[in-house]
Amino acid sequence: MSNVKYKVDGVEVSAEEFRQDEDRTAAEDFLVNAYQETLGDMVCSEHGEKTGYELNYESESGQCKIRTEACCESFDRDLNMALMMKMSEQAEANRSDDDI
């Protein structure tokens, strides 16, 4: 996947090294796809850069965390706003489903 930085326990590693573990590969597929589905193909209007992602796998807990990587503060704010709006939409949809 493009625009992805990989870390294991906070240390940057290559994509190949990250993917040597099935759990990390599954986490990458799930997390990056979920974020891409939410954010679409957002591009910085000022710099033309695409959204980047950083995956950090924590060996001790077995958790993999994702965060967006932006080329500038303005694009970072845009990404965060898009994520918050999508989460609000999903929460509202869930409340509507509960009313049925």
Q: What is the dihedral of CA 63, 93, 84, 51, to 10 degrees?
A: 70
The answer to whether the pTM exceeds 0.95 is no
Question: In the prediction, which pLDDT does 40 show?
Answer: 86
The confidence band for 2, taking pLDDT boundaries of 50, 70 and 90, is low
Structural domain of residue 38, as residue ranges? 4-99
Nearest residue to 81 (alpha-carbon basis) of 96, 94, 70:
70
| Total domains present in the chain | 1
Q: What is the mean pLDDT of the chain?
A: 92
Asked whether the beta carbons of 4 and 15 are under 8 A apart, the reply is yes
